[in-house]
């Protein structure tokens, strides 16, 4: 088993726990040894896809708020690309304000660096792991090597409220963390030449 495999197992072991105890962001922070912030690229309302509609069962909406960004360490190192789609009417008001979302899902002028998982802490939100996989040799939008893909569903009082996809980069935990990842030593040697 490689360190990447061990990292993929962490969210599997913590699925179903309160978000403040072990969200994907909290797991990445533990690995990095630093608090993470998010650089939000986009935040806007959009129609739910058929799959999102099925996973969120929104009898009361067909529109969700999508928030895309890049989680970064305090030193600016990219940790993970993240995309969240939430039903704003199911997000507690305290969190909507912090995240810059209106009740209708429209983006408010508030722009901050608070990750979704942190904004939802203490509000009774749990998360369910939908998928976790090792993805070395893939790159994210910034060209960093992506090594882990996670998909989770957020729940509040037994009602699904959002979906989050995160793609962790190789540098998110420091190069030494992934030196035993399949093919990593060969890729590192190619980068040095």
| pLDDT tens per residue, range 74-116 | 888 888 889 999 998 899 988 988 888 877 766 676 667 899 9
pLDDT in the model for residue 143:
66
| Unique residue bearing structure tokens 């998928």 | 131
Q: Sorting pLDDT into bands at 50, 70 and 90, what band is 159?
A: very high
Element (H, E) at 5: helix 3-14
Domains belonging to the chain, first-starting first, are 3-192 (3.40.1410.10)
What would you report as the CA-atom Rg of the chain, rounded to the nearest whole angstrom? 17
CB 183 within 8 A of CB 44: no
Q: Of residues 132 and 49, which shows the higher confidence score?
A: 49
Q: Report which of residues 119 and 180 the model is more confident about.
A: 119
Q: How far apart are CA 132 and CA 15, in angstroms?
A: 11
Mean pLDDT of the chain: 78
- pLDDT over 70 percentage in the chain: 74
Task: Dig out the tokens for 2 from the structure.
Answer: 């490689």
The whole model's pTM is what? 0.80
């Amino acid at each position: 088993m490689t360190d990447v495999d061990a990292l993929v197992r962490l969210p599997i072991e913590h699925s179903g726990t309160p978000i403040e105890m072990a969200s994907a962001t909290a797991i990445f922070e533990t690995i990095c040894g630093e608090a993470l912030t998010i650089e939000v690229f986009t935040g806007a309302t959009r129609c739910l896809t058929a799959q999102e509609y099925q996973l969120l069962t929104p009898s009361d909406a067909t529109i969700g708020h999508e928030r895309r960004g890049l989680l970064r360490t305090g030193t600016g190192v990219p940790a993970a690309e993240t995309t969240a789609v939430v039903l704003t009417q199911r997000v507690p008001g305290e969190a909507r304000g912090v995240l810059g979302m209106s009740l209708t899902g429209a983006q408010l002028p508030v722009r901050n660096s608070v990750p979704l998982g942190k904004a939802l802490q203490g509000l009774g939100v749990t998360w369910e792991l939908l998928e976790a996989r090792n993805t070395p040799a893939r790159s994210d939008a910034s060209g960093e090597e992506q090594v882990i893909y996670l998909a989770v569903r957020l729940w509040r009082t037994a009602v699904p409220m959002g979906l989050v996809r995160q793609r962790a980069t190789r540098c998110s935990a420091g190069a030494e963390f992934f030196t035993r990842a399949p093919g990593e030593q060969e890729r590192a040697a190619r980068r040095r030449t």
